[in-house]
């Protein structure tokens, strides 16, 4: 390989292999987890990935760094192996595509080698490159021949490593390693001890010595150090599993001491076998650490929900370093794009349905909750209208704004919020805004909750809160008074404008009912509908005729009341006046600004809620 050029497998494309057809996926720089139901082909994929690379060099224990597919899986002569097409693409650290290997199959049974994989250089995924040019580039830049493995030391740990030591003592050979051995000279014993104890604390004492374990059923010898109060032949399968994994890490550590070492690939089948969930998490943490320290790329298969959940979280934070590849449908496997933990869990258990946990939204009271519902209904209606003709002005007063197209695009970009009502649990608390601020600060739990407070909660000082009676003819503008919203965390949002819900709704009703000529389409629309034909601007205005000159929001509350069956609420509901008000390019920006805040809060709360849901 060219100096200082590390490459790694990045993309696996299976055009045809047994039940796999047109399946492809990417591999993480650090850790890739392959999962799915039994019989879907996880172990096959793992071994295939390991077959593209290798190093013709023996480890100190005598095992090699280039696993052979036929050592672990049988390819029958009756298979159409000549037609199998599998492509492994490798990239450099900077993301530049290096080379592609086609994993072709060759019948070498006459030579006693079975049907084996030959990794042939291909020009697939190499832009503007002939096959000959691809072969020349691979040889010149990476020292990889046309039918040779990519020069990455590779280890594949199959399930044969888990052959119980105590059940067939006659098939297990244990040899103590002398203190003069290279393992001790290079302090490999200390690495083994430290890494093992990192995963299962206090397991190996400082005075423990190294032994070599050879199992007839396993192609790789492994290292062993006695565990506290546990004879070698009495250790559990979980302890033996971890010991084999740590032994492979030590093999790579010893190799890393060579000057030309660039990195390694470690593939582990069923990594979680007999390991406690806490142990699995600590093992992943060790892998994450060693992926940096020793440039190891890990590709593992698992049925563990613990591992799936942990790596899904890591993938959300860094999809370059971590990947979850979940396979569905054993008879025709494919990689699912939908990687919700709950959905994968349901598939693992063979369930046909799953329930995604819902983010909670707290409101001050039922009125705030009801207004939120109206705003979401308004957005849904506006979104559908815009989507039907997104290139053109479809809301009112397009001539009064500079760029209706930009507003249309903003509406389109918030389409994901159409599912917000279904994906959240909305709770009215009957608490004031100040109490809810205190609740949010009191416990980290509430960072997973969205608080949607009334518009008048933007100011803490009551003297700063505007009164709607002063702003019926002009929009309240805090900049004129040099006022700013109070500081608040992202999971706290405020309903539109600067008023309590009753005042907010009254302002809309007042605008539409006192200027009927400006809102002729609204009133004529009501007149054309039998259920709303009796509503007129005069009748609606009369509902509020009892207000005194110095009325406040409490007076409006007395008119609205807490009953959603009264005449004011029925008018708001039947007329859909909130949708009408915001179906205007001059006003819809206020709704979009509110929804952007809600989206930010949801995007913050959801990962926190999911990460703690199953802890």
DSSP codes, 62-103: S-EE---GGGT----TTS-GGG-EEEEEEEETTS-EEEEEEE
Containing 571, the helix (H) or strand (E) segment is helix 567-575
Query: How far, in Å, CA of 579 to CA of 583, rounded?
Result: 6
Given a cut of 50, the residues of the chain with pLDDT beneath it are: 1-3, 166-167, 614-615
Containing 611, the helix (H) or strand (E) segment is helix 588-613
Query: How far, in Å, CA of 559 to CA of 342, rounded?
Result: 46
Kindly give, in sequence order, each residue whose CB lies less than 8 Å from that of residue 190, ignoring residues fewer than 6 positions away.
none
Write down the pLDDT at residue 1.
Answer: 44
Distance set, CA 475 to CA 103, 184, 277, 472, 497 (Å): 68, 79, 57, 7, 9
DSSP state of 418: G
Query: How far, in Å, CA of 469 to CA of 555, rounded?
Result: 11
Using alpha carbons, select from 458, 520, 465, 466 the residue that is nearest to residue 494.
458
Residues paired with residue 214 on neighbouring β-strands, in sequence order:
173
Q: pLDDT by residue (tens digit) across 426-439?
A: 999 989 999 999 99
Write down the pLDDT at residue 346.
Answer: 74
Cβ neighbours of 110 (radius 10 Å): 6
Phi-psi group of 184: left, alpha or beta (phi > 0 → left; psi -120 to 50 → alpha; rest → beta): alpha
Query: How far, in Å, CA of 166 to CA of 172, rounded?
Result: 9
Q: What is this structure's pTM? A: 0.61
Nearest-5° angle of CA 348, CA 352, CA 356?
80
Query: How far, in Å, CA of 518 to CA of 521, rounded?
Result: 8
Nearest-5° angle of CA 360, CA 565, CA 471?
75
Query: How far, in Å, CA of 85 to CA of 87, rounded?
Result: 7
Beta strands at 322-328 and 334-335: parallel, antiparallel or unpaired: antiparallel
Kindly give, in sequence order, each residue whose CB lies less than 8 Å from that of residue 352, ignoring residues fewer than 6 positions away.
346
Query: How far, in Å, CA of 66 to CA of 290, rounded?
Result: 20
Query: How far, in Å, CA of 43 to CA of 57, rounded?
Result: 24
Q: Are 158 and 72 in contact (CB under 8 A)?
A: yes
Angle of the 188-199 helix axis to the 277-293 helix axis, nearest 10:
140
- What is the chain's percent helix, strand, coil content, to nearest 5? 40, 20, 40
Considering only the C-alpha atoms of the chain, give the largest distance between any 2 of them, rounded to a whole number of Å: 103
Query: How far, in Å, CA of 32 to CA of 26, rounded?
Result: 9
Q: Which fold has domain 7-161+258-348?
A: Rossmann fold (3.40.50)
Q: Which runs of consecutive H residues, i.e. helices, occur in 116-218? A: 131-142, 182-185, 188-199
Query: How far, in Å, CA of 296 to CA of 253, rounded?
Result: 10
Kindly give, in sequence order, each residue whose CB lies less than 8 Å from that of residue 218, ignoring residues fewer than 6 positions away.
158, 160, 161, 163
Place of tokens 């599912």: 419
DSSP state of 160: G
Containing 245, the helix (H) or strand (E) segment is helix 237-256
DSSP state of 499: S
Place of tokens 């302090």: 187
Write down the pLDDT at residue 359.
Answer: 92
Q: Are 572 and 510 in contact (CB under 8 A)?
A: no
Structure tokens at 86: 């599998």
Write down the pLDDT at residue 614.
Answer: 41
DSSP state of 172: E
Q: pLDDT by residue (tens digit) across 144-200?
A: 999 999 999 999 998 877 655 544 566 778 889 999 999 999 999 999 999 999 999
Structure tokens at 121: 């250089």
Query: How far, in Å, CA of 45 to CA of 267, rounded?
Result: 10
Residue intervals of the chain classified under CATH 3.40.50.300 are 7-161+258-348
SS3 326: strand
């Amino acid at each position: 390989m060219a100096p200082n050029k590390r490459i790694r497998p990045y993309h696996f494309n299976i055009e045809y292999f047994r039940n796999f057809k047109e399946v492809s996926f990417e591999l993480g720089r650090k850790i890739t987890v392959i999962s799915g139901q039994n019989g879907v082909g996880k172990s096959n994929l793992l071994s295939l990935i390991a077959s593209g690379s290798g190093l013709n060099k023996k480890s100190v224990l005598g095992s090699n760094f280039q696993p052979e597919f036929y050592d672990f899986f049988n390819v029958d002569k009756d298979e159409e192996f000549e037609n199998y097409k599998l492509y492994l693409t490798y990239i450099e650290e900077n993301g530049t595509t290096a080379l592609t290997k086609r994993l072709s199959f060759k019948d070498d049974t006459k030579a006693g080698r079975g049907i084996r994989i030959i990794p042939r250089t291909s020009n697939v995924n190499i832009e503007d490159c002939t096959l000959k040019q691809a072969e020349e580039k691979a040889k010149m830049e990476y020292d990889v021949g046309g039918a040779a493995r990519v020069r990455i030391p590779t280890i594949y740990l199959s399930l044969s490593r888990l052959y119980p030591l105590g059940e067939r003592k006659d098939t297990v050979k244990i040899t103590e390693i002398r203190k003069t051995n290279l393992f001790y000279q290079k302090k490999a014993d200390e690495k083994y001890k430290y890494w093992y104890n990192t995963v299962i604390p206090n397991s190996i004492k400082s005075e423990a010595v190294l032994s070599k374990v050879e199992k007839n059923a396993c192609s790789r010898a492994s290292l062993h150090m006695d565990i506290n109060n546990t004879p070698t032949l009495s250790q559990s399968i979980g302890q033996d599993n971890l010991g084999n994994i740590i032994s492979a890490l030590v093999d790579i550590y010893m190799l890393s001491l060579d000057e030309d070492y660039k990195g390694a690939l470690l593939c582990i089948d069923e990594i979680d076998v007999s390991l406690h969930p806490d142990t699995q998490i600590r093992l992943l943490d060790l892998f994450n650490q060693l992926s940096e320290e020793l440039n190891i790329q890990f590709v593992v298969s698992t049925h563990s929900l613990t591992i799936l959940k942990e790596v899904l979280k890591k993938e959300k934070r860094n999809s370059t370093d971590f990947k979850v590849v979940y396979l569905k449908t054993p008879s025709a496997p494919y990689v699912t794009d939908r990687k919700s933990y709950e959905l994968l869990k349901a598939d693992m258990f063979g369930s046909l349905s799953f329930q995604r946990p819902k983010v909670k939204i707290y409101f001050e009271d039922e009125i705030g909750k009801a207004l939120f519902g109206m705003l979401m209904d308004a957005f849904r209606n506006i979104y559908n209208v815009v989507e039907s003709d997104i290139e053109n002005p479809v809301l009112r007063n397009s001539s009064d704004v500079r760029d209706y197209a930009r507003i249309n695009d903003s509406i389109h970009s918030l389409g994901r919020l159409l599912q917000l009502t279904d994906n959240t649990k909305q709770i009215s608390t009957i608490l004031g805004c100040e109490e809810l601020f205190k609740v949010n600060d009191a416990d980290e739990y509430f960072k997973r909750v969205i608080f949607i407070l009334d518009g008048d909660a933007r100011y803490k000082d009551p003297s700063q809160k505007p009164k709607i009676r002063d702003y019926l003819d002009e929009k309240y503008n805090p900049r004129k008074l040099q006022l700013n919203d109070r500081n608040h965390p992202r999971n706290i949002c405020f309903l539109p404008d600067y008023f309590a819900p009753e005042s907010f709704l009254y302002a809309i009703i007042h605008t539409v009912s006192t200027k009927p000529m400006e809102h002729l389409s609204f009133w004529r629309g009501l007149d054309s509908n039998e259920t709303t034909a009796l509503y007129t601007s005069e009748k609606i205005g009369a509902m509020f005729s009892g207000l005194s000159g110095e009325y406040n929001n409490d007076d409006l509350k007395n008119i609205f009341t807490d009953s959603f069956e009264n005449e004011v609420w029925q008018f708001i509901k039947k007329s859909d006046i909130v949708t009408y008000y915001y179906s205007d390019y001059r006003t819809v920006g206020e709704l979009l600004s509110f929804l952007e805040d809600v989206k930010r809060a949801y995007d913050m709360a959801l990962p926190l809620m999911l990460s703690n849901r199953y802890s």
